[in-house]
Structure 1
Amino acid sequence: MSSDATVRVEDRVVKLTNLDKVLYPGFGFTKGEVIDYYTRIAPVLLPHLKDRPVTLKRFPNGVDGKWFFEKNAPEHRPDWVRTMRLESPGSTKGNETVNYVMVDELATLVWLANLAALELHVPQWTVGPRGGKRDPDLLVFDLDPGAPATIVECARVAERIRVVLDDDGVDCWAKTSGNKGMQVYAYAPAKDTSEYAKAVAQRLAQEHPELVVSTMAKAQRTGKVLIDWSQNNTAKTTVAPYSLRARERPAVSAPVTWDEVEDCEVVEDLLFLADEVLERVASAGDLFGS
């Protein structure tokens, strides 16, 4: 593969650079392969990015190098990349804004991949066509294991969350974080999703104190799973489904079935790399939200 290329993506022209640059040194995974993954996963990824302002986590020198979060769209973007200027999350002055990238089309996704934006993070709310911020449409429980707990313990907690939500008549689904934990999602069952999630987390922490905590204090988390309900704060973002993660290997935040969650006995049961996720989608389609 040539180091640089100019390609046509649908009706856009995108310049790609340093395609042979290795971004995952421990795995030999190059920028060209990152772009290929995002191009091929786009049919199932793009619907989950639609109308959600994207926060980028960029690794220009690979996962072992310096990285940075980027909320404001790069000034050197192509003129066809749509952006949305919104009030900065958590702004107390009311006059601070962020000009977010809106990933509406494949070309924008390819352009971001070329910037080594390995991770894509989104909020649980969307915006309207004129920039109106809508109420959250998703509820998320972010499950974070405290060593020596792993994603195996997260799977057990996810099952318990599912039981509580089912009792409330709320369907939910799960995905791996692509890192150490996982997330459980549902369509927002209440206007105040943060309070609802907090109540569920506190209930499970009381019922299963040997396994679950609902507070951020690290001293309480050893060998347990934090149910991070605060991810429902409108200022927070969570890694998008099908996003790569910047780990040693090109792992993906991968949607999983409840059977897979229940069958999880070792970490490797819920670890999926880019090529495996592409195969899963080719076989089963989009599992997120189903």
Structure 2
Amino acid sequence: MVSPALSVLQQGTLAWHRWRQTQTAIALDLRQADLQGLNLRGIDLSHCDLSQSQLSNSRLIAADLTKANLSGAFGEEMHLGEANLQYLHGSNGHFSHSYFVGADLSFACLIGADLRYCSLENVNFFRTNLIGANLRCSSLVGANLTETQLRRANLSETDLNEVSLNETDLSQANLFEAELARGQLYKAQLIGTNLTRAHLHHSYLMRANFTGATLRHTDLRWSNLTHAKLLGSNLQGAKLRGADLSFSDFTGANLTKANLRGCQLRGTNFQNANLTGANFEEVSLGQANFQGAIMPNGDRHP
């Protein structure tokens, strides 16, 4: 039996707005509703329960889904451009290949959500919970990910160029071959994160925490890594040319065959690091600490 709310909604946005003004309930029940392919541009679905609903190919441009519940919903190829999705509950939702450009997802909860191959340019993810979410191959150019929770998220092959990730938690996330050029990652947490072959050149990584991270063949050229923590990290073959590594901590790190040509190493700590075959040409040492480190020629420093 079709619920009264669903029956009205299927008549379109205008009918819905008129009907909703007569309702006293704020949260309307649209659980498991079939809304596939509907044009609901500008609709007000705030506070509605759309959990486990079918939303594929629906058009929700500039819609209001503030505090709506889309947990477990199936909505591939949705159009949510410029939509208000603040405080949305979308955990374990399936939203791959959808269009979110310019949407506001601040404070939303999208734990374990499927966001693969999505257009997420200029989306506001401020303090959004994306723990364990899958964003593989999505484009997030210009997005705001400040203070976002991305622990264990899959961001492999994503486009994150010029993105703000300040104070974002990316611990144990997968950023294999991700594009992060000219990114802002001040105080970002990347503990145990996989950044193999990622591109972070010209990025601001001051005070970022890469402890135990994998940065094999990662491009960090001309980046600012001052006061960064890279304890026990794997930087084998990493490209660090021209980077500012002043006061950063590489204790126990693997920098085998890494290219540090022209780097600023003022007060940098390489204690017990493996620097075998690393390129230190034209560096500015400035009281760097090499105690116990294996030097580029294979000898251990006293």
TM-score by length of 2: 0.19
More helix per residue: 1 or 2? 1
More strand per residue: 1 or 2? 1
Q: Which has the larger radius of gyration?
A: 2
